[in-house]
Amino acid sequence: MATAKFNVIRHQPYPHRSEHVNIGVVVYLEDGSVRVRMANNLRKLKAFDPSADIETVRDQESALQDMLNEVPYEKKDAVATLLGPWRLDGMAGTLSYHSKDSLDDAIGWALYQTCETITSRRYVERRPQSRLLMDLKKTFSVYGWLAHEPRQISQKLIVHKYPLMAEEGLVADFAVRSEKLSVMETLDMRYVSNPSLKRTEGIAKAMVLSVANGLEDTLACSIVAGSQTDYAKEMTKLLSRISSRFYVYESTQDMNELFRDIGNATGKPVLDLPV
């Protein structure tokens, strides 16, 4: 196993201050040769020093490598005055590698540890996906009714997560347009571990349906599973009252009617479910 020493390249435009940003590494191999590698992401440099030209910095990578290859490791500090706003960190690190490929990996690791900006994953709040919604989405896809993008609603396909009023953040579970726009909201009242949270979800669904009712040539439709449970009765009554069409998932008659309505809207009818 071979080893190599490396120093961090610092961008320090004001030498009398301690402020700096790490922009790359210089690696000294056992055979006396030098490798210079700049960080993959130099946006931090631009934020630190708006006058810095990132492309110029990258172009200097090979020139700096050629310069340092002419200087023995013991005299590397002598070139510090030639590097302009750049400085070599006085504390050297050590890399271990077996081959050229593993050397590249080791240099990449050194860059990641010393220069690259480490960001945490951005948290994105996701709408809960109920079993009812996922089952319907799968069925719509099997029947060839499901669109791949919102604009396909003009092709009489069902759009999942339809932006009913995008600016207000109102998104419907499904929507399909034929003569009228049919907006569909689903509510799965089965397997509920937190009735209060499920009630809040139901109120949000009711809001979407209420807005749909206020739009011209729009039908508000709701599909509810588990409507017979005690804690579901209040929400079922609310949704059925504000929906132009109300379907109970456990009812074969209701589901046949739903699929018949969607089949007519898409122009791709299917056989009724067996009773």
Residue 137: the pLDDT is 95
For 236, the token pair is 């079922």
Q: Of 118, 116, 119, 113, which Cα lies nearest the Cα of 6? A: 113
Distance CA 156, CA 151 (A): 10
Dump strand ranges (E) for the chain: 2-11, 21-28, 34-38, 86-88, 93-97, 159-165, 170-177, 181-188, 218-225, 245-248
Residue 123: the pLDDT is 47
Distance CA 6, CA 9 (A): 10
**CB-CB contact of 255 with 247 (8 Å):** yes
Q: What is the DSSP letter of 79?
A: G
> How open is the CA angle 210-215-221, to the nearest 5 degrees?
50
Residue 246: the pLDDT is 95
Q: Which amino acid is at 100?
A: K
Q: What is the DSSP letter of 233?
A: H
**Mind listing the pLDDT tens digit of every residue in the chain (275 residues)?**
788 889 899 898 887 788 899 999 999 998 888 999 998 888 888 888 888 888 888 888 888 888 888 877 777 666 655 677 888 887 778 888 887 777 888 888 888 888 876 655 554 445 557 899 999 999 999 999 999 888 888 899 999 999 988 777 889 999 999 889 999 999 998 887 788 888 889 999 999 999 999 999 999 999 999 988 777 888 889 999 999 999 999 999 999 999 999 999 999 887 655 54
Residue 59: the pLDDT is 83
Q: Which residues have CB under 8 Å from 262's CB, separation 6+? A: 140, 145, 158, 176, 182
**CB-CB contact of 130 with 188 (8 Å):** yes
